[in-house]
Chain A
Amino acid sequence: MRSAGPVVRIPTAVNIPAGTPVLMEADDLALVTRAKAGDRDAFRTLVVRYQRRVYSVALGIVKDRDLAWDVSQETFVRVHAHLPEFVGDSSFSTWVLRIGSHLAIDSLRKERASSKQNLDDVHEGDLVGGGEGILATALGNDPQQNALRRELAGKMTEALAKLPEKHRTILVLREVEGLSYEELAERLAIQKGTVMSRLFHARKKMQALLREYAGLGADGDAGGEEGGA
């Protein structure tokens, strides 16, 4: 007879893409309940379950592996401290990732001396000579068979690290944490229009870097202008 909810051991190397509708949400709640009651094993199970996702978000934002590790651990310390406040109005994974991205952004703010790049308007210079469609053509429609896709995937984090801080952050929040425009606007304290234009710039720079890595006519402006400024 079990005294509490089932404990599902997840291999540490498990790969759970963001936004995957995991069937473990109910189990998460059982573990949270036990962790709230002081059960360390239950809390450890939650940590192991989400440590890599939290780390991937932190790494995407802070880009330094050691800092990302530290931010990730601190994330779970905060999670534990605030467990009594978790009432399940969002999924546990969403809640944990939110705390993690907050901490990652905070850690960047502490390190940042100043930000000179605040323009988000889209200007004509942002749209010309970008090599649009080259990546899509090269990557084709078969994700499993495409060697270039695998090669580019390996270069993704490298390209991400070359982006300005605010572009890294918004891309990770959008693509990894899966935030909507509205959530991004609230989280970053910017207007929805700024969210869209900032994402546009971030993607454009990322694509230019990837084209360069792939040798696909590197005529983009990866390290170039921000909003034409």
Chain B
Amino acid sequence: MTSDLCLRWAPMIGARPGELTPEEEHGLAEHLAGCDGCVARLADETALSGMLSQALLDEANRRDFATFSDGVLARIPERAWGGAPGSASAGHGQGGFLGWFRRHRAAAVAAVLAPALAALAAVLYVGQDHHDVPEAAYVEVTSEMGGATVLDTKDGPVVLLGEGEPEGT
């Protein structure tokens, strides 16, 4: 028999413990005590319980999953395997330095190249002509006042006064 009460309580059939409020649990129990239709619904629900889950797993078990994990790993970008250095079995079982190097290729290359580039820059810098240093050609000149050194630079002669520089100059 179907009644307005069934409309209210039938959807609650199949609830797990704790999913209904105490009032709902009490009301459902009371309804089931007097409704054969809902008792039958509950019996169907109980009889079929777990069958769907099992059926889907059976379906999955009929399928060949031999290539599944390979497919998953192939979808994961190489850069995503950024584990800690020396992690076990990293890089398809290639641990140690080689495994770490493969996972940190860019950093490793940068670490090797950085000092080399620095050395190259130093060599180039030292080998350059440094025009800010006056080209010096020592020219000894004499004067009545004593000896002096004249540097012949591109900017013109620069006279260096020696220790015997006469007082007052």
Contact = CB atoms under 8 A, between A and B. Distances in A.
B109 interface: no
Interface in B55-106: 55-61, 63, 65-66, 68-69, 71-73, 75-76, 80-84, 87-93, 103
B150 interface: no
B89 A39 contact: yes
B41 interface: yes
B7 A37 contact: no
Interface in A194-222: 196-197, 199-200, 203, 206-207, 210
B29 to A, nearest CB: 16
Contact of B50 (A17, A39, A132): A17
Interface stretch (B9-17, B126-134, B153-161): B9-17
A139 B59 contact: no
Contact of B84 (A38, A73, A124, A137): A38
Contact of B7 (A3, A123, A206): A123
A21 interface: no
A44 to B, nearest CB: 5
A80 B59 contact: no
Given A133-B43, A136-B40, A171-B52, A13 B61 contact: yes
B2 interface: yes
A165 B140 CA distance: 104
B44 A136 contact: yes
Interface residues of A, number: 73
Interface stretch (A85-93, A98-106, A107-115, A172-180): A172-180
Interface string A55-85: 1110110000100010011101100110000
Interface string A2-44: 0110000000110111100000000000000010111111111
Contacts, number: 189
Contacts of A210: 48
Given A39-B87, A56-B59, A122-B11, A133 B69 contact: no
Nearest to A42: B89
B76 A156 contact: no
A182 interface: yes
Contacts of B37: 127, 132
Task: In the A-B complex, list the 9 residue pairs whose CB atoms are closest, starting with the nearest.
Answer: A38-B83, A133-B40, A156-B55, A136-B43, A132-B40, A56-B56, A37-B87, A37-B83, A196-B11
